[in-house]
Amino acid sequence: MLLQEPPRSDGDLNFVLFRVPVRIHPWFWVIMLLLGPLRGGPMPLVAWIIAVFLSILLHEFGHAAAMRSFGFYPSIVLYGMGGLTSWGPGAYGARNPGPAGRVLVSAAGPAAGFGFAAALYAILRLAGYEVAVEVGLPEVVAIRLQQLVVSEGLTVFIHYLFFVNVAWGVLNLLPIYPLDGGQIARELLEQASPAQGLRFSLMLSAFTAILIAIYAAVEWQSLWIAIFFGFLGFSSLQALAAWGRGPW
């Protein structure tokens, strides 16, 4: 979700996984704590943090795998409410991804989460557990367990895995900067209109984000979602003003 890599800090956690450098900024843990469940004791909160960490890391590795397919050496940073996967240097013979390749890279993150959720759903069904798929607002697509899976802690953990990988994945495909959907919309609109595509994508981003913020405040009564999308809409309007063309 980030536009640029945050500065390094003394509290960073660094490791390498599948030859991809990963850095976790302290603010990642702080934001996840703030977004976590406030009731039920420490178990739901711990399950939430682990589920979010694994899901966002999987999401970013989806981007990284797509970048590696073009011959680049990506790196990952988790920070705030999301993460950033940078292309890194290109190996000998690295290919220019072009517009279609950049769309593929942007879509690979949500696709990794959807694929994981589908696999988890299939495993649970094969194991004899009842799992329901619901379509509708506010989550758009929700996968819910209808019975206990081994223990309450594991059941809550699986619920959070489904929620982050599916519901957050769908939201991430909205045509809003700097979400993956916003990057995809920019690439498509710039191909359709090279001169005005960026401007159109910023207009679409601002309109969509503000609409979601209003709907979240009125219908869902979710202050966090309203503030988050309101901030993204305001950022798109600022970028649109800086672009400096047209009646805006």
Residue 230 counted as domain residue: yes
Distances from the Cα of 193 to the Cα of 183, 184, 209, angstroms: 15, 14, 22
What is the bridge-based pairing of β-strands 75-79 and 20-24?
parallel
Residue 225 within any structural domain of the chain: yes
Is there a contact between 103 and 187 (Cβ–Cβ < 8 Å)? Answer: yes
Is 231 within a domain?
yes
Its domain, for residue 185, covers: 175-248
Q: CB of 74 within 8 A of CB of 88?
A: yes
pLDDT at 34: 84
Would you put residue 2 in left (φ > 0), alpha (ψ -120 to 50) or beta?
A: beta
Domain contains 203: yes
Residue type, 231: F
Tell me the pLDDT of the chain (248 aa) as tens digits.
Answer: 445 677 888 888 999 999 999 999 999 999 888 888 877 778 889 999 999 999 999 999 999 999 999 999 999 999 877 889 999 888 777 788 889 999 999 999 999 999 999 999 999 989 888 888 887 776 677 788 888 887 888 889 999 999 999 988 998 999 999 899 999 999 999 999 988 889 999 999 999 999 999 988 887 777 888 888 999 999 999 888 886 655 44
- Number of domains the chain contains: 1
Give the pLDDT confidence score for residue 208 in this predicted structure.
94
113 located within any domain: no
Alpha helices in the chain (DSSP H): 26-35, 42-69, 98-126, 152-162, 169-172, 180-192, 197-215, 223-243
Whole-number pLDDT of residue 128? 86
| CB contact at 8 A, 63 and 70 | no
State the pLDDT at residue 248: 44
Task: Judge whether 130 lies within some domain.
Answer: no
In this structure, is residue 107 part of a structural domain? no
Asked if the structure places residue 180 within a domain, the reply is: yes
pLDDT value of position 4: 67
- Whole-number Cα distances in Å, 33 to 36, 42, 152, 213: 5, 11, 20, 22
* Among candidate residues 24, 26, 18, 51, the one with its CA nearest the CA of residue 156: 51
